[in-house]
């Protein structure tokens, strides 16, 4: 008997470790041999912990599992109260286009044999047949853009590093996924760590870099453990070694270290303050050497691009947003989780159809897209197609593709205040608009909350200063949530709103 | 109080283990905190000397990051997520209830040293909020009861 149960953080947070122990205990009690694989998550977080059982070569899903449901896995499976049917046939799974996440939830994350049996290393095999320039061309032609949020073309960044002359170059993977509503990096690293390693090796081949670092968050203990184990295995199997080797590093709770230049400072053992650009990290990055800094999903998308060709990837998408995007649907939502699909669905389709509306059953009031620095979208903008330019055209951003759903109990003035407060806590302190502006921003929102509407133009002006004058996206994008809350939900900023209600 | 000889011996081992590493300061501070439960301030000048940086720089780096603590924490550390996705799932009310129950504000430790309460901004559990971490253990859809049950007495 073969059972899969995720080791993914979300599954664990909902009790998967206890369920796993109960499965092992039940099997021992019955004297029935069971192979228990701790896989990644399929992304249906509302069904976690989701167990899968092999029935005649097909994986059947059971969830959300409780301790009381464990014994039933050893009985008549058809009448199990949590039986959901074949996993691949579930509507959530069927409608997706899983390119980057093809293996997540499917394979044993730490089995290199499983990885190879499911298409792993095909991208690297092809890359090894090509020269540096041809790999860069392939990635450029795929249209892949930085999935961390900035959307800069990955191939162009690689070309800059590839053309740079230096005795040492580096690949740095930005796995400092600090944005609320985002967990794609975490899920990928927990569910398919070799995919990221393969992507980094290919990046090394393309640019001439021989050393890599993955900068992870201390808030992701499971992902750190899986990645460290995967690097050990890759080294033992000679995937990593003299030609390219890499190391896992852990941050220390500073949100701003998700910004590439402060990440590089942190990696060098310094305060995570932002560096002015230029020089670009591609020319003077880690230790002053040419460095590719890419997000986890950007790097993990490279193996499939190399394996199936740039055209296959590019044929998905909309406008200048090519390929697929792992949407992360979160907050007050009925069906939350990870959903990989080509760019182009509208925000309304994502929230209402895929997400199924709010978990509370109340109407959706706002959706924050792109993390704490992303804009709040009202229902009126639900026809916006999911793409970089399309969201920018509505004064928003897609960022790392996280969506936080709020029901009508949300107070948008409070959310605007939180955006300023968060910026004040996490500001690295290097530039004045961010360091001082965020503190003044909290005060100005407090004035508005007390009924002083004359402070509204001041808030607008302050946001403008932060947007234009900040050194990086923390101060520069904090105005997005603040201004979108003010623009789209003006009633929440009016005095005596409570009395009026 | 740490014995200074003990501190120096254990610190020397940590520094030796990180020799030759590019950008070793953060890994060293993590290792020191793992060994001592906090970063003893007496350790900073020794680390600074070893890495050939100024004491001010070592202090500046340590104090920049939320994770590193100057003083030991309580026997349990309870981290509650305060980020937007958890707020959408009622984390503010949960935090207020936990604070009232423990009689602690953020970053405070109970008088008997049982528990330290800290905010955290995102554990990546955004589709099963409110999220928390108790002594490194992740908790999704947290309630006051489930959290307090996990705090070591």
Measured between beta carbons, the chain A residues lying within 8 angstroms of B121 are 178, 180, 255, 372, 422, 425-426
Q: Does B150 contact chain A (CB < 8 Å)?
A: no
The residue-averaged pLDDT of A155-165 equals: 98
Q: Indicate if the pLDDT at residue A498 is higher than 60.
A: no
Please name the helix (run of DSSP H) or strand (run of DSSP E) that holds residue A367, with its range, or none: strand A364-369
Render pLDDT for A235-262 as a digit per residue (tens, 0 to 9): 999 999 999 999 999 999 999 999 999 9
Render pLDDT for B1-34 as a digit per residue (tens, 0 to 9): 567 788 999 999 999 999 999 999 999 999 999 9
Three-state secondary structure string covering B69-136: CCCCCCCEEEEEECCHHHHCCCHHHHHHHHHHHHCCCCCCECCCCCEEEEEECCCCCCCCCCCEEECC
Given the structure tokens 């930085």, which residue do they identify? Answer: A146
Q: Does A485 contact chain B (CB < 8 Å)?
A: no
Q: Which of A177, A273, A330 has its CB closest to that of B127?
A: A330
User: Within 10 A of A404 (CB to CB), how many other CB atoms are there?
Assistant: 36
| Residue A176 belongs to some domain of the structure | yes
Per-residue confidence (pLDDT) for residue B5, from 0 to 100: 81
| Residue A156 belongs to some domain of the structure | yes
Task: Give the residue among A441, A411, A445, A449 at the shortest CA–CA distance from A424.
Answer: A441
- Are A136 and A254 found together in one domain? yes
Render pLDDT for A466-478 as a digit per residue (tens, 0 to 9): 999 999 999 999 9
- Are A433 and A388 found together in one domain? no
Q: Which of B51, B60, B89 has its CB closest to that of A271?
A: B60
- Looking up residue A137, the CATH number of its domain turns out to be 3.40.50.11540
Q: Where do the H-state alpha helices sit in A177-248?
A: 184-191, 193-207, 221-236
Q: Does B20 contact chain A (CB < 8 Å)?
A: no
Residues 6+ apart with CB under 8 A from A435: A427, A429, A475
3-state helix, strand, coil in chain A (%, to 5): 45, 15, 35
Residues 6+ apart with CB under 8 A from B15: B28, B46, B47, B50
| Residue A112 belongs to some domain of the structure | no
Per-residue confidence (pLDDT) for residue A210, from 0 to 100: 98
- Are A194 and A271 found together in one domain? yes
Residue A175 has, within 13 A of its CA and on its CB side, a CA count of 34
Q: Indicate if the pLDDT at residue A497 is higher than 70.
A: no
- Are A363 and A482 found together in one domain? no
The residue-averaged pLDDT of A108-124 equals: 98
Q: By the 8 A CB rule, do B50 and A369 touch?
A: no
Given the structure tokens 């969506």, which residue do they identify? Answer: A403
**CATH superfamily membership of B76-152:** Glutaredoxin (3.40.30.10)
Domain residue limits at A380: 325-407
Q: Which of A47, A66, A253, A266 best tests the B interface by mutation, with the highest count of B CBs <10 A?
A: A253
Q: What token pair was written down for A183?
A: 């967990």
On whether ipTM exceeds 0.90, the answer is: yes
Render pLDDT for A27-38 as a digit per residue (tens, 0 to 9): 999 999 999 999
- Are A167 and A240 found together in one domain? yes
Say how far apart CA B59 and CA B45 lie, in whole Å. Answer: 9
- Are A280 and A294 found together in one domain? yes
Render pLDDT for A209-224 as a digit per residue (tens, 0 to 9): 999 999 999 999 999 9
Chain centre to alpha carbon of residue A256: 16
User: What one-character DSSP code corresponds to residue A177?
Assistant: -
Say how far apart CA A35 and CA A42 lie, in whole Å. Answer: 19
The residue-averaged pLDDT of A474-501 equals: 86
The residue-averaged pLDDT of A377-390 equals: 98
Q: Could you give phi then psi for residue B30, rounded to 5 degrees?
A: -60, -45
- Angle at which helix A296-308 crosses helix A184-191, to 10 degrees, equals 60
Residues within 8 A of B (CB atoms), A 48-87 only: 48
Split into its structural domains, chain A has a count of 4
Say how far apart CA B58 and CA A341 lie, in whole Å. Answer: 45
Render pLDDT for B40-75 as a digit per residue (tens, 0 to 9): 999 999 999 999 999 999 999 999 999 999 999 999
Contact flag A332-B131 (C-beta cutoff 8 Å): no
Using a CB cutoff of 8 Å and minimum separation of 24, what contacts does A133-136 make? A133/A162, A135/A202, A135/A205, A135/A206, A135/A306, A136/A162, A136/A206, A136/A207
Per-residue confidence (pLDDT) for residue A500, from 0 to 100: 47
In this structure, the dihedral spanned by the alpha carbons of residues A42, A45, A51 and A56, taken in order and rounded to 10 degrees, is -40
Say how far apart CA A242 and CA A334 lie, in whole Å. Answer: 48
Q: Does A477 contact chain B (CB < 8 Å)?
A: no
Q: Indicate if the pLDDT at residue A501 is higher than 90.
A: no
Domain ranges of chain B: 4-64, 76-152
The residue-averaged pLDDT of A80-102 equals: 97
Question: Can you point out the beta strands (E) in A27-169?
Answer: 35-37, 51-55, 58-62, 83-86
Measured between beta carbons, the chain A residues lying within 8 angstroms of B68 are 252
Render pLDDT for B81-112 as a digit per residue (tens, 0 to 9): 999 999 999 999 999 999 999 999 999 999 99
Contact flag B84-A410 (C-beta cutoff 8 Å): no
Say how far apart CA A373 and CA B83 lie, in whole Å. Answer: 12
Q: Does B143 contact chain A (CB < 8 Å)?
A: no
- Are A159 and A308 found together in one domain? yes
Cα distances (Å, whole numbers) of residue B63 to A436, B51, B152: 19, 17, 28
Identify the closest residue of chain A to B83 by CA–CA distance: A180
| Residue A223 belongs to some domain of the structure | yes
Q: By the 8 A CB rule, do A418 and B84 touch?
A: yes
- Are A209 and A248 found together in one domain? yes
- Looking up residue A51, the CATH number of its domain turns out to be 3.40.30.10
Contact flag A254-B65 (C-beta cutoff 8 Å): yes
Measured between beta carbons, the chain B residues lying within 8 angstroms of A46 are 127-128
Q: Which of A294, A314, A334 is the C-terminal boundary of a domain?
A: A314
- What average pLDDT is seen over chain A? 97
Measured between beta carbons, the chain A residues lying within 8 angstroms of B57 are 270
- Are A390 and A424 found together in one domain? no
- Are A254 and A268 found together in one domain? yes
* Coil, helix or strand at residue A350: helix
Entry pTM? 0.97
Render pLDDT for A33-79 as a digit per residue (tens, 0 to 9): 999 999 999 999 999 999 999 999 999 999 999 999 999 999 999 99
Q: Does B18 contact chain A (CB < 8 Å)?
A: no
What's the gap in Å between the CA of A286 and the closest CA on chain B?
Answer: 10
| Residue A329 belongs to some domain of the structure | yes
Q: By the 8 A CB rule, do A307 and B105 touch?
A: no
Q: Could you give phi then psi for residue B32, rounded to 5 degrees?
A: -65, -45
Q: By the 8 A CB rule, do B76 and B133 touch?
A: no
| Residue A49 belongs to some domain of the structure | yes
């Amino acid at each position: 008997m073969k059972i899969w149960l995720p080791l993914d953080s979300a599954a664990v947070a909902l009790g998967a470790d206890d369920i796993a122990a109960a499965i092992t205990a039940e099997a021992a009690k019955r004297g029935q041999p069971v192979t228990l694989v701790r896989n990644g998550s399929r992304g249906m977080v509302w069904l976690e912990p989701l167990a899968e059982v092999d029935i005649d070569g097909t994986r059947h899903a059971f969830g959300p599992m409780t301790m009381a449901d464990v014994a039933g896995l050893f009985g008549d499976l058809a009448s199990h109260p949590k039986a959901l049917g074949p996993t691949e046939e579930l509507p959530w799974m069927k409608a997706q286009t899983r390119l980057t996440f093809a293996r997540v939830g499917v394979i044993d994350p730490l089995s290199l044999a499983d990885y190879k049996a499911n298409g792993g290393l095909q991208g690297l095999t092809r890359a090894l047949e090509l020269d540096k320039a041809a790999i860069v061309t392939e990635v450029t032609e795929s249209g892949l853009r930085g999935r961390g949020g900035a959307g800069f073309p990955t191939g162009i960044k690689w070309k800059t590093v590839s053309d740079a002359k230096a005795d040492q170059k580096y690949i740095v993977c930005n796995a400092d996924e600090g944005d609320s509503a985002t967990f794609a990096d975490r899920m990928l690293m927990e569910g398919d760590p070799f995919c990221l390693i393969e992507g980094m090796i290919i990046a090394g081949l393309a640019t001439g870099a021989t050393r890599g670092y993955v900068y992870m968050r201390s808030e992701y203990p499971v992902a750190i453990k899986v990645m460290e184990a995967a690097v050990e295995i890759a080294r033992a199997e000679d995937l990593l070694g003299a030609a390219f080797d890499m190391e896992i590093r852990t941050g220390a709770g500073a949100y701003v270290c998700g910004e590439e230049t402060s990440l590089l400072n942190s990696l060098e053992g310094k305060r995570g303050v932002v560096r002015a650009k230029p020089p670009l990290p591609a020319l003077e990055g880690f230790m002053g050497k040419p460095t590719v800094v890419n997000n986890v999903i950007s790097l993990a998308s490279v193996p499939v691009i190399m394996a199936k060709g740039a055209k296959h990837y590019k044929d998905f998408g909309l406008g200048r947003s090519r390929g697929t995007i792992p949407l992360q649907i979160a907050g007050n939502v009925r069906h939350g989780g990870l959903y990989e699909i080509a760019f182009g669905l509208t925000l309304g389709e994502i929230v209402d159809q895929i997400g199924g509306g709010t978990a509370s059953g109340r109407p959706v009031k706002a959706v924050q897209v792109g993390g704490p620095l992303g804009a709040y979208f009202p229902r009126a903008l639900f026809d916006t197609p999911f793409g970089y330019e399309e969201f920018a055209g509505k004064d928003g951003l897609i960022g790392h593709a996280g969506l936080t759903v709020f029901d009508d109990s949300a107070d948008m003035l409070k959310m605007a205040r939180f955006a300023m407060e968060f910026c004040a806590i996490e500001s690295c302190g290097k530039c004045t608009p961010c360091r001082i502006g965020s503190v003044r921003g909290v005060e100005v929102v407090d004035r508005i909350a007390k009924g002083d509407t004359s402070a509204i133009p001041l808030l607008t002006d302050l946001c403008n200063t932060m947007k234009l004058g900040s050194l990086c996206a923390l101060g520069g994008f904090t105005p997005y949530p603040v201004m979108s809350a003010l623009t789209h939900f003006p009633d929440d900023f009016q005095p005596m709103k409570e009395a009026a209600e | 109080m740490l014995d200074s000889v003990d501190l120096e011996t254990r610190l020397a081992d940590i520094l030796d283990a990180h020799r030759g590493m590019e950008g070793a300061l953060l890994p060293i501070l993590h290792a020191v905190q793992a060994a001592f439960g906090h970063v003893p301030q007496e350790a900073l000048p020794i680390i600074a000397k070893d890495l050939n940086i100024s004491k001010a720089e070592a202090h500046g780096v340590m104090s920049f990051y939320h994770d590193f603590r100057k003083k030991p924490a309580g026997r349990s550390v309870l981290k509650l997520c305060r980020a937007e996705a958890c707020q959408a799932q009622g984390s503010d009310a949960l935090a207020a209830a936990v604070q009232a129950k423990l009689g602690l504000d953020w970053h405070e430790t109970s008088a008997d040293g049982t528990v330290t309460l800290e905010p955290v901004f995102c554990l990546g559990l955004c589709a099963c909020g409110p999220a928390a971490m108790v002594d490194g253990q992740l908790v999704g859809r947290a309630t006051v009861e489930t959290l307090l049950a996990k705090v070591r007495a």
